[in-house]
């Protein structure tokens, strides 16, 4: 029986990245469909839950992709509403690679520095990757702050994290060198999750920081998010701190993404979102 993965993308055209990784994760056939919304998903779900016998249903799975995390969360919720009894298939949410990227970054951090009791700052943490990483760091026992150029946006993101995961994180403003230095007061862990090609933290500012133990940068596009970190850095020591660049932890992200896709076909009732994906990342790191 063929393993079918329906890639339901909230953007008008489904992205190619998730299609490729879905094949590499073991799907026999990937069907990318763009323009998916909670209003048009019911027919798609019906086609996956009513077509195969109970024992064969695990060979059909759903993957929610797209650039908009809020739209992805809404689509996942709508998909789950259409499931009942054993009429369900496994589903994974990874809008913008948010869950797999955040999980890989936080798993790498936790390997070197236990987040429990530490102060972690997620710079530009208002995007999909930053919000998910904030949840994972907080679940590991860190006191977490996520920053934005605008305090109001940081507060909105913190409220979204609380609403989705019941996790409390602080909201801080960091829009220039001075406010970023203030946001990093007392920080032991920094994870930079800003948009591609934007430097958020200068090398001179973290080099002399009294408390920082580890810095991880998710941005692979120059200029990188953290000055003085190489995109290939993988647990490298710089200025007495451990540093990871985006490609440095990106290999784990890809391995994790593929493993999660593979696990969708092991049963018909998995729901892979932040917590479950992070649990897998910790087993793999």
Task: Catalog residues that contact ligand NAP under the rule CB under 6 A.
Answer: 96-97, 101, 124, 126-130, 148-149, 153, 193-196, 198, 218-220, 246, 250, 253
CB of 1 to ligand NAP, least distance (A): 32
How far is the C-alpha of 266 from the C-alpha of 2, rounded, in Å? 13
Least Å from the CB of residue 62 to ligand NAP = 20
Nearer to ligand NAP, 45 or 121 (CB): 121
Of 25 and 127, CB closest to ligand NAP: 127
179: number of Cβ within 10 Å: 15
CB-nearer residue toward ligand NAP: 250 or 265: 250
Shortest Cβ contact with ligand NAP: which residue?
Answer: 127
Residue 38 CB burial class (10 angstroms; 0-12, 13-18, ≥19): middle
- Judged by beta carbon, residue 4 or residue 134, the one nearer ligand NAP is 134
Q: Give the separation between CA 127 and CA 192, rounded to whole angstroms.
A: 11
Q: How far is the CB of 255 from ligand NAP (least distance, A)?
A: 11
The two beta strands, 241-244 and 234-238, are antiparallel
Q: Least distance (Å) from ligand NAP to the CB of residue 237?
A: 20
Helix, coil or strand: residue 29: strand
* Token pair for 9: 């993308």
């Amino acid at each position: 029986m063929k393993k079918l993965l329906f890639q339901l993308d909230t953007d008008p055209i489904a992205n190619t990245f998730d299609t490729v990784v879905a094949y590499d994760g073991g799907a026999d056939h990937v069907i990318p469909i763009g323009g998916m919304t909670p209003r048009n998903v019911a027919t798609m779900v019906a086609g996956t839950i009513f077509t195969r016998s109970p024992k064969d249903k695990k060979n059909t799975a759903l993957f929610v992709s797209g650039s908009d995390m809020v739209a992805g969360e809404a689509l996942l919720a709508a998909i789950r509403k259409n499931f009942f009894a054993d009429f369900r298939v496994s589903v994974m949410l990874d809008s913008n690679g948010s869950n797999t990227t955040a999980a890989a970054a936080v798993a790498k951090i936790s390997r070197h520095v236990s987040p429990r009791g530490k102060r972690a700052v997620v710079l530009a943490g208002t995007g999909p990757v930053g919000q998910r990483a904030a949840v994972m760091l907080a679940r590991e026992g860190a006191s977490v702050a996520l920053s934005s150029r605008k305090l109001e946006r940081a507060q909105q993101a913190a409220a979204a994290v609380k609403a989705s995961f019941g996790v409390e994180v602080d909201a801080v403003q960091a829009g220039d060198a001075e406010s970023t230095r203030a946001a990093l007061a007392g920080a032991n862990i920094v994870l930079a999750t800003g948009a591609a090609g934007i430097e958020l933290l200068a090398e001179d500012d973290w080099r002399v920081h009294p408390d920082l133990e580890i810095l991880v940068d998710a941005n692979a596009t120059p200029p990188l998010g953290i000055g003085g970190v190489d995109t290939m850095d993988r647990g490298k020591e710089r200025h007495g701190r451990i540093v990871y660049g985006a490609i440095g932890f990106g290999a784990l992200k890809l391995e994790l993404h593929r493993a999660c896709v593979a696990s969708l076909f092991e049963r018909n009732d998995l729901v892979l979102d932040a917590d479950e994906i992070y649990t897998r990342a910790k087993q793999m790191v």
